[in-house]
Every structure is written in C-alpha cells, then in structure tokens.
Amino acid sequence: MTRYAIPLLTHHPLRLGLTIGGVALCLVLMLFLLSIYSGVADGSVDYIRQSKADLWVLQENATNILRGTSILSTAHGNVLRSVSGVRQASAVLLSLTSINRDGRPATIFLTGFDPASNLGGPPSIIQGRTIASDSEIVLDKSFARKFAFAIGDTVILKDGPARVVGLSTATNAFVIQYAFASLRRVQSNIGFSTLVTCYLITLEHDARKNEVADAIREELPGIEVFDHATFLQNNMHEMESGVLPLLYTIAAIGAVVLTVILTLLLSISILEKRKDFAVLKAIGAPHGFLPRLIAGQALVITIAASAVSLAMFFPFVAVVETLAPEISTQSSPNHVMFVAGAAVLLGLVSSFLSAERLRRVYPLESFQ
C-alpha cells in the first residue's frame, strides 16, 4: 500500500516536510522525557544504590531520604554499635543547605558523613579526592559545572568557608544535587552537634541481616530498619511518585499533539482528494482499500518522523545538557523502540480517526 501512499504524500512536499517535522518534534519530546526519566530514576537513587550499607536505620515512619524527614541522635550510634553482628554503624546527616555563588543562590543536599568509614560518602569521585578534614567539601559534578565551581574554589556555608577538593558523579538527584562534608561540619553548620538523619550499617561476615535488624528493633524501639534493597526500592518509589505523573502528563500531551497533527494532515488529504477517492469507490475499490491507503500514509509519516527524531535527538540532548548541566539523561535502544512503536500506534489511531471522513465520500461524486 505504501506504493501509492508515498506518491500521494510527496505530491505536497512542503506539507509533508512540515508534518514529518512536527511529528518528529513530538517524538523527540517523548524520547527526551523517557531519557530524563531514566536519568532521574538512576541519578536520584544512585547515591543509595552505590552505598555499601547492609542496613539503613531511620526514625520511625521515615521510609526514604528523598522526601522524608528522619531525626536521630548520636546516642543511637553507640547502641547500634553494641548490637551483635554490627561491624560498622556510620551516621549520615542530610541537610538542604543554601549557598551563594557570585550573587546566585543555590541549594545543595549537604551530606555529612564519617570520612574514616566513608560510609555515606560520595559514591564516585571523578576529579580531585574525597574530604580529609572538616574544612573540605565535595560537590556534584553537574552542580559544579552549573555554578562554575572548580577544585580549590571556596563554598561559603552558614558556619564558614569550605574548600572544594573533589567532584562526584551519581549524586545528581535532578531537582537537587548532593554535596559532601564531614558529619561534624554539617552538624556545626545546622547548629545541632548531636543530630543525625540515619545510620548506615555494615554487618559482620557471618551475621544474618534479618536477625541483626530484629535485634536493632529490639534495642531501639521507635526506629525503622531497612535492608539495602528495600530502602533502595522505597526511595525509587518516592522518586517515581513525585516525578512520573509530571513526565507522563507531558508525554501524553506530546502524544495527543502528534495524533492531532497526523489526523489533521490525513483529513486534509482526504478532503483534497475527495474526488479521487470517490472515483476509486465508484470503480470498485473494496471496503478496506481506502482506509489501508490512509493507514499507509500514516505509517510512512511516522516511520520517516521516527528516523528524523532519532537524528535530532542526540544533538538536542547535547545542547540541553550543556545549557542545563543538572539535567542528566540516559537513553537506550529500548527507548527508541518504544517511541517508534508508540509513533506507529498513534499513526494508526490517526488514520482510523481521519478515515471516518471516507464514509462521507460517495462514489456518485465522480459523475458530478
């Protein structure tokens, strides 16, 4: 059917080009949202995923660190370290902290950890080193790029300056980026020297997670203990429930726009070629012939638009990531397949909607 669909489309090259361009932009939007989702899904929880902790201990009812508050004290640490099977219990204090860079305000997820154990510290340093003293700080790479921080620069925190000694990756949570300082320094920064957010526990080789978790619960009522996988899942769920509805909504709008563009083009094409279609009906075109011709046109457009969108997508992402380094995307062949499949499906929906007009084309019109 594409044998006739292609010439019918190329008969109006400008219109075809605009339509393919419009559909391709919608597909780029969908691909972009998918890659942002993957980037966010990974980036938001990479800090947790790459942690070496076997167990996470938080305040009662706190299930995650992305959108929950957990307040514990340093005294909990002493009890945790005494539980049988616990090798290390390292405190982490997370604090949303405002800083100022040349008059530009910025917010970081300042993470205080114990440099000696490195539990809860930056999962991956790509430039410089991790902190060695209270006066040092490690920044997320994309945050540093956005605010033009380099190794050796100074970040002014509430309680004084901190020198940038390293840049980390896997610490971009999309809406906010992690920064790492010593636990003592972060406690000093917020003005509470015994406050922590959670404890990261590593176990002795022969210890069983469940048994240690139960022992901790017994020793410290009013706290939550999660194994690593559950805690990671909790945070992913939290991230998805916050971000996914927005992404889905925008993707749905893109899909609707794509369908509308295609339906309009195909409907206009039917109206313009009304007499042609009337003739085809008069001379015996079978029932499904004309709808298949329209579906063929939709397929040609969506396949061409998929190819164009793929060619546009990677340069587009490169530009976006240059302009907004905090946006981290992650694309895969599955995304491309999914978007191309969705495009074909929406193309068929469009052809179905516009083919309704064929019902009102009458063979006798060819004799007028």
Partner 1 sequence: MNAIDTPLVQLINVSKVFTSGEQKTCAVNNVSLDLFTGEMIVLLGPSGSGKTTLLTTLAGLLQPTTGTVMLFGKPMTSYTPAELQHVRAVRIGFVFQTFLLMEALTVEENVSIVTGFVRRHRDGIENEIGDLLLHLNVAHLAKKHPAELSQGEKQRVAIARAIINKPDLIIADEPTASVDASTGTEIIRLLHGFAKEQSKCVLVTSHDSRVIAFADRVVEMEDGRMILCHSPSAVV
Q: Which residues contact 114 (CB under 8 A, 6 or more apart)?
A: 90, 91, 120, 182, 183
User: Binding to partner 1 (CB under 8 A): which residues in 173-202?
Assistant: none
Tokens of 49: 């995923």
User: Binding to partner 1 (CB under 8 A): which residues in 66-85?
Assistant: none
**Cα–Cα distance, 89 to 162 (Å, whole number):** 26
Is the CB of 279 or the CB of 310 nearer to partner 1? Answer: 279
Residue 320 binds partner 1, judged by CB under 8 A: no
Give the other-Cβ count within 10 Å of 332's Cβ.
11
| Phi and psi torsions of 258, nearest 5° | -60, -45
| Phi and psi torsions of 227, nearest 5° | -75, 165
Number of residues that bind partner 1 (CB under 8 A): 23
DSSP string, 54-121: SEEEEETT---SSS----EEHHHHHHHHHSTTEEEEEEEEEEEEEEEETTEEEEEEEEEE-TTT-TTS
User: Binding to partner 1 (CB under 8 A): which residues in 5-24?
Assistant: 7-8, 10-11
Is the CB of 179 or the CB of 280 nearer to partner 1? Answer: 280
Cβ 21 to partner 1 shortest distance, Å: 21
Is the CB of 189 or the CB of 351 nearer to partner 1? Answer: 351
Cβ 1 to partner 1 shortest distance, Å: 8
Is the CB of 192 or the CB of 289 nearer to partner 1? Answer: 289
Of 4-12, 38-46, 126-134, 202-210, the segment contacting partner 1 by CB under 8 A is 4-12
Of 87-95, 144-152, 200-208, 360-368, the segment contacting partner 1 by CB under 8 A is 360-368
Site string for partner 1, 265-294 (x = CB under 8 A): --------x-xx--xxxxxxxxx-x-----
Cβ 281 to partner 1 shortest distance, Å: 8
Is the CB of 289 or the CB of 352 nearer to partner 1? Answer: 289
Cβ 269 to partner 1 shortest distance, Å: 10
Long-range contacts of 58-62 (CB under 8 A, 24+ apart): 58/197, 58/198, 58/223, 58/224, 58/226, 59/198, 59/222, 59/223, 59/224, 60/222, 60/223, 60/224, 61/224, 62/198, 62/224
The one-letter amino acid code at 192 reads: F
Cβ 19 to partner 1 shortest distance, Å: 15
Is the CB of 282 or the CB of 349 nearer to partner 1? Answer: 282
Q: Are 182 and 133 in contact (CB under 8 A)?
A: yes
Q: Identify any residues that bridge with 99 across adjacent strands, giving them in sequence order.
A: 106
Contact residues for partner 1 (CB under 8 A)?
A: 3-4, 7-8, 10-11, 273, 275-276, 279-287, 289, 363-364, 366-367
